[in-house]
Amino acid sequence: MLAEVSGLLSCPQCGDGLDLIDRALVCARGHSFDVARQGYVTLLTGTASKFTGDSAEMISARCDFLEAGHFDPLLDAVAVACRDGGTGADPQILEIGAGAGHYLARVLDALPSARGIGLDISKPAARRLARAHPRAAAVVADVWRQLPVRDRVLTHVLSIFAPRNAAEIDRVLCDDGVLVVVTPTDRHLGELVELLGMVRVDDRKTERLGETLAGRFERVHRTRLEFRMALSHRDVDNLVGMGPSARHLTTEGRSTAIAALPEPFSVTASVVVSTYRRPSTSR
Ligand SMILES: C[S@@+](CC[C@H](N)C(=O)[O-])C[C@H]1O[C@@H](n2cnc3c(N)ncnc32)[C@H](O)[C@@H]1O
Ligand SMILES: [Zn+2]
């Protein structure tokens, strides 16, 4: 799939365009980036990134949880936001912090003429991303550096529970392109926060998001989405394991607390799906 999106990518060393030649992406100046056996390409240079992203265990828990369908209303809401935010051109979509690519795949299913790039700093994520969808390519890169994407070539950028870099998103989105962002509200997974001491969502997160995007983007649509999930102990374990709390809880403490829960256990998902565009004056 890299062949179809290579025209959107840029060399992380010099910024030139990249072509896929044999099993490498190569720029006109000869900088070359091998495609890994598992199908993803690493477009990082210079000093090692201080971020490693999600571990193989976190990615595996995330895949199990999402594939059980509990977040389907959210996956569908993201696909609808992308369809409604279309620019008329064939969609060229980038998901930053894409994890295993479930959201990107759902969006590509909803938009048959679209192609996508999933970008993540985690190699275990990239291995899964490379297999996420026939029209998706997988790139390992750091959201906090220059994105390895050409200027103004994308119609959509997605950031789902993931870090975002407003200046770089501004550089890569086309004039009337859209940024679709999902952030948790302070009610998200509230029952588990109480019981398992999971990391609490900062309830000013959505507000702060607006502040960090202000000046470059304005919010044109906002949907608050809340639904209940009936979860087995295994689902709860995956849900804890796929998030930041996985790093704070001991394995023993986690399994004892989960074993004590009723089954199924009812948990609230509560998020905001926001769509941003550049203010009309700067398009
Ligand atoms: C909470 S997960 C969300 C994954 C996916 N969007 C989903 O909802 O299934 C956040 C993702 O951001 C990635 N990430 C964290 N820091 C990053 C960085 N500096 N650059 C790129 N990706 C990063 C992690 O590896 C992880 O896959
Ligand atoms: Zn180059």
For each successive 10 residues of the chain (283 residues), what is the average pLDDT?
93 96 96 97 83 92 98 98 90 98 98 97 97 97 96 98 94 96 93 75 66 84 97 95 76 87 96 94 71
pLDDT of residue 215: 80
pTM of the model: 0.95
CA angle centred on 171, ends 168 and 174, rounded to 5°: 130
The encoded tokens of residue 4 equal: 């179809």
Q: Which-ligand-closest: CA of 12?
A: 2
120 lines ligand 1 (CB under 6 A): yes
Q: Can you read off the two tokens belonging to residue 188?
A: 């998200």
Q: Are 142 and 46 in contact (CB under 8 A)?
A: no
**DSSP per-residue letters across 128-168:** HHTTS-TTEEEEE--TTS--SB-TT-EEEEEEESS---HHH
Instruction: Provide the pLDDT for residue 203.
Output: 57
Is the CB of residue 125 less than 8 Å from the CB of residue 42? no
Peptide bond into 264 cis (omega under 30): yes
Look up residue 283 and give its amino acid.
R
Distance 33 CA to ligand 2 centre (A): 10
CB atoms within 10 A of CB 90: 12
Tell me what pLDDT residue 43 has. Answer: 97
Distance CA 136, CA 71 (A): 21
β-bridge partners, 136: 116
Verify whether ligand 1 is closer than 6 Å to residue 239 (CB atom).
no
Residue 246's pLDDT is: 61
Report pLDDT for 88: 82
Q: What is the pLDDT of residue 206?
A: 64
**Which residue's alpha carbon is at the smallest distance from atom 27 of ligand 1?**
99
Q: Domain 41-282 - what CATH class?
A: alpha beta
Q: Are 264 and 230 in contact (CB under 8 A)?
A: yes
pLDDT at 170: 97
What is the distance between the alpha carbons of residues 249 and 90, in angstroms, rounded to a whole number? Answer: 44
Burial of 217 from C-beta contacts in 10 A (0-12 / 13-18 / 19+): buried
Among all chains, which residue has been given the structure tokens 């501004």?
170
